[in-house]
């Protein structure tokens, strides 16, 4: 019972942390918050890729985590590739906001998105690192068992790979 209560509290904390991002606050630039009518933000990246202003939600998962297979089935090519994650990482200014436990990611054109540190769900269902780390799927597999993802904490932004059974956050892109 204690473990269930603890996990529920951690998921609620993740939702509280992500609440700034879910309503699109923090974007700036053109009087419409930098958000296109479809909910995507043009950060001015060289590829022209637009990033959705909010994370995807999942009605049956309080923490809104998706396994890789769930994410690919539901979103397909709208998941960013590893190259698009690298572009976001290398062409934007990343500023950690310790109050909301998220990175403000500002593009070359000064428009921005927030990426919350929502943690992840391990393959066994336990949730870890809420408020400390953010984990976001790419669509780029390494092999049949592992997939590239973006991760960050207050002092680091990088990419690595996880087993596809992990539950991670999903942020969609609109490809030019």
Select, from the ranges 11-15, 24-28, 170-174, the one with the highest average predicted confidence (pLDDT). Answer: 170-174
The contacts of residue 155 (CB under 8 Å, 6+ apart) are: 96
**Which residue in 72, 42, 64 sits closest to 118, CA to CA?**
64
The model's pLDDT over 52-95, given as tens digits with 9 standing for 90+, comes to 999 999 876 667 999 999 999 999 999 999 999 999 999 999 99
Residue 54 CA: distances (Å) to CA of 62, 70, 161, 165, 172: 16, 18, 23, 23, 8
* pLDDT range class, residue 4, cuts 50, 70, 90: very low
Number of independent structural domains in the chain: 1
Mean pLDDT, the chain, rounded, equals 83
**Mean of the pLDDT values across residues 100-117?**
97
The model's pLDDT over 129-171, given as tens digits with 9 standing for 90+, comes to 999 999 999 999 999 999 999 999 999 999 999 999 999 999 9
Residues 65-99 as b or e (16 or more Cβ within 10 Å = b): bbbbebbbeebeebbbbbebbebbeeebeeebeee
Say what the pLDDT of residue 61 is.
Answer: 62
Say what the pLDDT of residue 22 is.
Answer: 34
Say what the pLDDT of residue 23 is.
Answer: 32
176: exposed, middle or buried (Cβ count in 10 Å: 0-12, 13-18, 19+): exposed
Say what the pLDDT of residue 176 is.
Answer: 80
Task: Identify the domain containing residue 129 by its residue range.
Answer: 2-174
HSE-up of 57 (CA within 13 Å, CB side)? 12
């Amino acid at each position: 019972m204690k473990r269930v209560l603890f996990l529920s509290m951690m998921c609620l904390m993740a939702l509280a942390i992500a609440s700034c991002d879910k309503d699109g606050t923090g974007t700036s630039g053109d009087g419409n918050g930098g958000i296109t009518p479809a909910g995507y933000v043009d950060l001015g990246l060289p590829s022209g890729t637009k990033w959705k202003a909010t994370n995807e939600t999942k009605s049956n998962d309080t923490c809104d985590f998706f396994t890789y297979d769930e994410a690919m089935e539901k979103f397909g090519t709208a998941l960013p590739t590893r190259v698009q994650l690298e572009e976001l990482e290398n062409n934007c200014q990343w500023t950690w906001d310790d109050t909301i436990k998220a990175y403000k990611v500002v593009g070359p054109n000064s428009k921005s998105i927030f990426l919350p540190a929502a943690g992840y769900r391990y393959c066994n269902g336990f949730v870890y690192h809420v408020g400390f780390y953010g984990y976001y799927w790419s669509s780029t597999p390494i092999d049949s068992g592992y997939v590239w993802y973006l991760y960050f904490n207050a002092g680091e932004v990088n990419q690595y790979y996880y087993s596809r059974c992990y539950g991670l956050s999903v942020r969609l892109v609109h490809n030019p």
